[in-house]
């Protein structure tokens, strides 16, 4: 009987240690609240963007370009979510955010932080040849079920400065190693660069994180991730990316082309991945 009890106990231990958590994760450039976006104003897009996040059962979404009022609109429409992010212009609420939305019922927040993409990452300011301030925000999360801990980094690269985009990748890789060490990491963002861009390739080939697109067995990619609010945009370039460390298994990857009455929730399509954290 004692031997049977020990075997049973060992079996429970193996089951517990092998417990895996499946998560639905996204990256979504919201397009900032621009009053000149005639026909695509945020007030019309906000409930659609929130409905998209709800319908596709996201657990975590890295957003880009959101102003404070946009993030508040989303949270009001997504009461099951909270978010972390600071304004890139003053480190508080001013300017665009790289905010991370997460489902409150699933995660405990253990730590958080932000840094700027520049040679002085601890304070607001543009870096290298960047036109604008750019910021990366991160969360250390723990799953309430299974107590799995991981980090989520989210970023928006500069749209003009080529040197800034190259140097941003170097900085982010350093920060991921410095902040997360060997712990599991997901990294989302608008890279303003496709699969051939040097700054994308430096992340992809870093050995630190891998592109979820390349890990998925059957990626759902019918077009690129930037639509510019145009139905006839011919681009197949994916410029919004999701990277993961080896502790994640990618089960599904897709670029979501949801529309409403022929219009788009944003000028970017969100990218969705289903991952398993072992």
If you search the block for the tokens 């994640």, which residue do you land on?
248
Task: Give me the CATH number covering residue 57.
Answer: 3.60.10.10
Q: Are 178 and 170 in contact, with CB atoms under 8 Å apart? A: no
* Degrees to nearest 5, angle at CA 23 with 17 and 24: 170
Assigned domain for 89 exists? yes
- Please give the pLDDT value at position 254: 98
Instruction: Quote the number of domains for the chain.
Output: 1
Low-confidence ranges of the chain (pLDDT < 50): 1, 4-17
Structure confidence by residue, pLDDT tens digits, 124-147: 999 999 999 999 999 999 999 999
Which residues, 6 or more positions from 122, have their beta carbon under 8 angstroms from its beta carbon?
Answer: 115, 116
Assigned domain for 203 exists? yes
Give, to the nearest 10 degrees, the angle between helix 42-55 and helix 68-77: 50
- Please give the pLDDT value at position 14: 42
Structure confidence by residue, pLDDT tens digits, 56-71: 999 999 999 999 999 9
Assigned domain for 4 exists? no
Assigned domain for 77 exists? yes
- Please give the pLDDT value at position 92: 97
Assigned domain for 80 exists? yes
- Please give the pLDDT value at position 8: 43
- Please give the pLDDT value at position 278: 87
- Please give the pLDDT value at position 3: 56
Assigned domain for 33 exists? yes
- Please give the pLDDT value at position 235: 86
Assigned domain for 233 exists? yes
- Please give the pLDDT value at position 234: 77
- Please give the pLDDT value at position 98: 98
Assigned domain for 70 exists? yes
| Residue-number span of the structural domain to which 35 is assigned | 20-106+184-277
CA pseudo-torsion sign 172, 177, 179, 182: positive
If you search the block for the tokens 């005639």, which residue do you land on?
38
């Amino acid at each position: 009987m004692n031997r049977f009890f020990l075997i049973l106990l060992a079996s429970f231990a193996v089951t517990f240690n092998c417990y895996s958590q499946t998560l639905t994760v996204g990256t979504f450039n919201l397009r900032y609240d621009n009053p000149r976006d005639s026909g695509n104003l945020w007030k019309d897009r906000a409930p659609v963007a929130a409905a998209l996040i709800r319908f596709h059962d996201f657990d975590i979404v890295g957003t880009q370009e959101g102003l404070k009022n946009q993030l508040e609109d989303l949270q009001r429409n997504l009461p099951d979510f909270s978010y972390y992010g600071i304004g890139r212009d003053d480190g508080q609420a001013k300017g665009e955010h790289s905010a991370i939305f997460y489902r409150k019922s699933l995660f405990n927040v253990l730590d958080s932080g932000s840094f700027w993409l520049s040679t002085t990452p601890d304070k607001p300011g543009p870096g290298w040849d960047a036109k604008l301030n750019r910021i990366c925000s991160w969360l250390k999360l723990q799953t309430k079920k299974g107590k799995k801990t991981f980090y989520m980094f989210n970023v928006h690269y500069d749209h003009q400065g080529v040197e800034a985009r190259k140097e941003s990748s170097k900085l982010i890789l350093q920060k991921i190693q410095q902040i997360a060490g060997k712990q599991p990491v997901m990294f989302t963002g608008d890279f303003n660069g496709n699969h051939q861009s040097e700054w994308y390739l430096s992340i992809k080939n870093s050995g630190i994180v891998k592109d979820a697109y390349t890990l998925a067995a059957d990626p759902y990619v019918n077009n690129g991730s930037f639509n510019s609010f145009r139905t006839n945009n011919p681009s197949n370039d994916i410029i919004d990316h999701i990277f993961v460390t080896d502790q994640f298994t990618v089960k599904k990857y897709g670029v979501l082309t949801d529309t409403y009455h022929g219009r788009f929730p944003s000028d970017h399509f969100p990218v969705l991945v289903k991952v398993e954290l072992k």
